[in-house]
Amino acid sequence: MPEIPLLFHVTNKLENEGTVIHWLGITQIGTPWADGTAFISQCPTKSGESFIYDFIVPKAGTYFYHGHLGMQRSAGLYGSIIVDEAEGEKTSFQYDGEFNLLLSDWWHKSSKEQE
């Protein structure tokens, strides 16, 4: 099964806080600095700076990412990544399509007020 290289260029446009992105379901073998666990495997990207996440996904699939610092996830820093098989590659299963749905709470206070 071929490995799939992914490259994400993240620019932190938050005014006064750092940020990191954590990739759920993607094991960071050989790239622990791209795991997005603030102050453990990666220092947060400072306001106004950029960081390039460059890692390998071992197989096609649907993955989830989110901010891993403070209240950024509840403020909306999350999403999904759909990694398709390379053209010409066959999957071990067949399906008609994919419907991606992300649900979140609706907060009456800002993430700063919640914090």
pLDDT tens sequence across 60-114: 888 999 998 887 887 788 999 988 877 777 777 777 777 888 887 777 877 778 7
The fold of the 4-114 domain, in CATH, is Immunoglobulin-like (2.60.40)
pLDDT tens sequence across 33-73: 888 888 998 899 999 999 999 999 888 888 999 998 887 88
The Cα-based distances of 21 to 44, 46, 64, 65, 109 in angstroms read 9, 13, 10, 7, 23
* Local structure of 30: helix, strand or coil: coil
pLDDT tens sequence across 14-28: 888 999 999 998 888
Q: Locate the domains of the chain by residue range.
A: 4-114
Given a contact cutoff of 8 angstroms between Cβ atoms, the answer to whether 1 and 58 are in contact is: yes
Task: Determine the pLDDT at residue 2.
Answer: 64
Sheet containing 78-83: give its strands across. 21-24, 61-67, 78-83
Task: Determine the pLDDT at residue 63.
Answer: 92
Indicate the residue type of 93. F
Q: Is the pLDDT of residue 1 over 60?
A: no
